[in-house]
Structure 1
Amino acid sequence: MRIGLVQMSMEFANPDNNYKKAEELIRLAAKENPDTIVLPETWNTGVFPVENIKELCDKNGKQTIELFSYLSKELNVNIIAGSVVNEKEGEIYNTSYIFNKKGECIAEYDKTHLFSFMHEDDYFKKGNRVTTFELDGVKCGVIICYDIRFLELVRTLALQGIKILFVVAQWPVSRIKHWEILNEARAIENQIFVACVNSCGTAGETIYGGHSALINPWGETIAKASYEEEIITGDFDMKIFDKIRNTINVYNDRRTDLYR
């Protein structure tokens, strides 16, 4: 599967401009003929305008679903629409929407781990389920930013059979080493591909660190971005799975009788 990562610098608290920019970047990424294009976390508002967050939310994902249903069908590409600040049933969620090449919204995921250090849990409601889906016959999962620190979540997805993990984030430059190590570790320990896309640019006093990457199950980096806004594209060779699991079969050798 050919993957395009859109490392986007969004404008803080300006959804109108950000939707226009996201469409422009998706169209640009599509010129590299990817099967799947991925955006970063909360690209519609940035992280996160507390003073008027409810007014700036997407409402039940309506604007996001309309735009990416149209784009994915027109461009014949799967789209992981990063995540958006989203209001549903009177609560605010950090929601990722997934679209196939037919323009169908086939899955959604609400961020389950909220970053208490930034008081994210004061403004957002936690999601309560994991999400898997199929793109072009390949089982995939998606998580959002802080979720990557919780190895139990990713192992749960891996045990459900995913081969690709999409990670969408707004990760600060001050902790970019953690970003790199955690994504590589999740790929290695679960023997899965990881497509991790971060934002870049500045929101308030926080500088976001870029370094989006495509990582194979050996922990090898196929493609990697810098700190600036850019699009990177690379190929995931699914034939790797048989080789790695016949060589280092961690799933066969697990000791579930000892785990609690």
Structure 2
Amino acid sequence: MKLALYQGPPAQGDPEAAFARLELQLHAAALAGARILVAPELFLPGYNQPELHKTAAQPLGGAWFQRLGAMARHADCGLTVGWAERAGAAVFNAATAFDRDGEMLGHYRKIQLFGPMEQASFQSGGSYCVFELDGVPTGLLICYDVEFAPHVWALAERGVKLLLVPTANPAGFGHVADSFIPARAGEMDMTIVYANYCGAEDDLRFGGDSLIAGPDSRIIARAGRSEALLIAENGPAPESALRSTQLSDFRKV
């Protein structure tokens, strides 16, 4: 299948601007034949917006959720996007995947909160999310989660072959895109779509370098430091002799 990834600047806490940009990129991805578009972490209402995390977060099934599903249905293209979810008194750093009919495929709450801002704004999630996208076992993680090999391992044990990762990776952490993402993909025999921001949000500058890495650790497509829409074919699969068997070969001592 064709996969799409959007790397863009933050909407600076303006949900309407975020929706407008998502709609434009979603239609472009659909015209190119993509089955799903992955957008960055906390695209709604913004990543470096701690006050809005408290006041603007919405419940699962609320207005943002309904609007995102309608956008996917109208564009005839799936969508995965990060957003601030309120559940009672708790707020979660969440991501939802919608199919091309606008129906929810999966919903995930970030487990590994990064830094003081996230830890003050959000409660940690406590479970993984696995679903099928066009017959491919697919999982969700968010940013810092994917830097922990055990989380990727846990999803691989559940059969995941495609991992969608909205992220907000700051400048200075280029090793994540350079090394961690290709390594995780190769180790666990999966394709990883890692969608970051570019530009800045208040005093936080993002590193860009969004990418799609295949199960042979090969970088299928990669963005630079500016706005980009990546669209790439997931496949063909590498030769069986080149695929990782770490999951089955691992020996505990």
The normalised TM-score by structure 1 is 0.91
Deviation at 1:181, TM superposition (A): 1.2
Report the counterpart of residue 34 of structure 2 in structure 1.
34
Is the deviation greater in 94-103 or in 49-58? 49-58
Alpha-carbon spacing, 1:173–1:228, altered in 2? closer, same or farther (3 Å)? same
Q: Which residue of 2 is the match for residue 180 of structure 1? A: 178
Q: Which residue of 2 aligns with 1:15?
A: 15
Q: Which residue of 2 aligns with 1:93?
A: 92
CA–CA separation in structure 1 for the residues paired with 2:201 and 2:239 = 39
Per the TM alignment, residue 244 of structure 1 is displaced from its structure 2 partner at its CA by 3.6
Unaligned runs of 5+ in 1: none
Contact 1:41 1:145 in 2 (8 A): yes
Structure 2 Cα separation of the partners of residues 177 and 249 of structure 1: 24
Alpha-carbon distance between aligned partners in 1 of 2:127 and 2:57, rounded to the nearest angstrom: 22
Q: Residues 31 and 239 (structure 1 numbering): CA distance in 2 closer, same or farther, change over 3 Å? A: same
Evaluate the alpha carbon distance shift between residue 178 and residue 19 of structure 1 in structure 2; reply closer, same or farther with a 3 A threshold. same
Deviations 1:103-150 (A, max 9, x none): 2112100001111x3331111011010111100000011100111121
| Displaced runs of 4 or more, over 3 A | 238-245
Give the whole-Å Cα distance in 1 for the aligned partners of 2:23 and 2:178: 27
> What does residue range 206-221 of structure 1 map to in structure 2 within 5 Å?
206-221=204-219
1:121 to 2:126 alignment:
no
Cα deviation for residue 52 of structure 1 reads 4.0
Could you tell me which amino acid in structure 1 is paired with residue 38 of structure 2? V
1:154 pairs with 2:136: no
Aligned partner (choices 129, 134, 137) of residue 135 of structure 2: 137
CA RMSD of aligned residues (A): 1.7
Number of residues of Structure 1 aligned to a counterpart in Structure 2: 253
Native 8 Å contact 2:177 2:211 kept in 1: no
Give 1:16 shift.
Answer: 2.3
SS in structure 2 opposite 1:83? strand
Q: Using the TM superposition, give the Cα deviation of residue 241 of structure 1 relative to its aligned residue in structure 2, in angstroms.
A: 7.3
- Give the Cα separation in 2 of the matches to 1:144 and 1:61: 20
Output the CA distance in 1 between the equivalents of 2:53 and 2:98: 25
TM-score by length of 2: 0.93
> Cα deviations across residues 52-106 of structure 1 (Å, max 9, x unaligned)?
43222233352332122212222222211x2101212221111111111222112
